[in-house]
Structure 1
């Protein structure tokens, strides 16, 4: 190499591999400067005509519901679903001329302590989000962590006190096994998923978020942010952190949606009188549809477009390996090195197997199933959004189909309200998918043109 400035990435070695020392990352976003300037950044990104770092297209700013707004909508939806389930169980024939019922429901059969129990459980996250918003606006920044911990403990004591008071009176009027069925599933699943942590009981968000004011519109930007690193170990470490964060969000979304469905759909059935007659199919259908609707809403909130974009960028840097069948063909291959960022088409040997890299750069470990799944799921982020959108469209279409074939007044009312609660989630998912589809299609074209231009310049 001629004298002068040296690239931080090393030089081409046998078999076309390229080894790098960890670069100096100057920022936390994907457009961070590497090295001492833009010229060195360009030199590191392409060596020998090979594009080493994918080119990312920025995602436009998309409004995301804040935690307080989302919890308010969730509270309203849960209250509606619980009231509808009570309507399915305790409806009357009040409209008949000879009916002795003056009201649409037999309210005297409903246990008021059960209603307080359900209301407390479904409102706890909204109350916590409201108090947190108030504390954020009045408390100093250096006091916020301590204030939040104290607030959680106090709120937990109040919630446990109310729930214990309700359970005491419910155990006097009902079989103790009904109280056991009400409490044990939620408690056991919670400790199994989260241990003794208090946080997930009140807050389903996994990261501390900040709000950016842009033209009087608030947008929620979720962390973590992506680092455009050219260090293979740093890329794998980032992918591991993102994978753990994705799983944490998945667990919290599943627990929140399933808990709401259990409290608002199943709990009223547990405490229904034995002599009560109701439509079992319709009641069960209400539980399933409400659970699927809450599941889609929590997934849409837990995985916004900007978060999916971070996973996508990390997947492009990670790359993937394909196993080469027929190891006796004597193809020239290098032994895989965990400190090397391998270019496209590299052949390596690892654990007595031969692999070929795919992607502009590959930092994944050959044969690592978690790396392979991460790239398969997030190399095209529209797959996740398309799956959620498909679920939501199918859910709304199924509800409309049921509504067209329904003649009972309470069933029409129930299905109409339940369908309306899913329209907002359908709108958000459709908007996010259309934006992502256009952005990532443009990104793919940019990457293909950049790779072609670099290949032609070196010939």
Structure 2
């Protein structure tokens, strides 16, 4: 598990973000490859052992591949992206900051600074970088204004519960679809397969929802405490 160092050095913050981006991308590749392999062995490998005289429901095999791959992806993401890791990404994004490009004609009368990588820019300041004007959006801003990867990192991890909310929505949609398929199913092997996948999704959804409720209360309490200190 990577660690976060609350440093005031812009260069160290950007290096930390680069390392976290590589680590996050590696985890996503692990999720993608593992889920695809699991779905492949469940949905398509058994077809190889079917005799030519037997009928193969290709539509059901494709549907089973999608169900298993998505369900496995959510379970693996919950395992590889625990709340502690998401909080680590959130803290790094908060220190990285974000820039928004603005129209130079709308801020011609406002003071504009020349962006330098050695300075930590406060919120609301305007800077010039590569002949464009940018506005600082975060509380602390050390990101490169023209770096799209920095913007994406801040967008996804600025809110600590964003990834968890996406997983809950995805898992909830999968459960509703599986319930609908289970009701419409008329074949016993499809019913058994859907029921088994549904039970695993119930457990994963419960764990995600529990983490969401607990972390939501924790972050709301932390934000209210910080607001009281400021006031």
TM-score, with structure 1 as normaliser: 0.48
Task: Name the SS for the 2:59 alignment partner.
Answer: helix
Distance apart, 1:439 and its partner CA: 2.1
Quote the Cα distance in structure 2 between the aligned partners of 1:444 and 1:365.
27
What are the within-5 Å matches in structure 2 for residues 193-342 of structure 1? 223-327=1-105, 329-342=108-121
Q: Does 1:432 align with 2:224?
A: no
Q: Deviations over 1:365-387 (max 9, x none)?
A: 11211111101000012111111
Quote the Cα distance in structure 1 between the aligned partners of 2:10 and 2:113.
16
Larger Rg: 1
Q: Does 1:396 align with 2:151?
A: no
Quote the Cα distance in structure 2 between the aligned partners of 1:441 and 1:377.
19
What are the within-5 Å matches in structure 2 for residues 399-418 of structure 1? 399-418=178-197
What are the within-5 Å matches in structure 2 for residues 143-182 of structure 1? none
Quote the Cα distance in structure 1 between the aligned partners of 2:96 and 2:14.
7
Partner of 1:78: none
Quote the Cα distance in structure 2 between the aligned partners of 1:344 and 1:418.
47
Normalized per residue, which structure has more helix? Answer: 2
Quote the Cα distance in structure 2 between the aligned partners of 1:260 and 1:325.
49
Unaligned runs of 5+ in 1: 1-222, 454-459
Report the number of matched residues.
Answer: 230
RMSD: 1.7
- Identify which of structures 1 and 2 has the higher relative contact order when contacts are C-alpha pairs closer than 8 Å and 6+ apart: 1
Runs (4 or more) in structure 1 with deviation over 4 Å come to none
Unaligned runs of 5+ in 2: none
TM-score, with structure 2 as normaliser: 0.93
Are 2:93 and 2:158, in contact at CA under 8 Å, matched by a contact in 1? yes
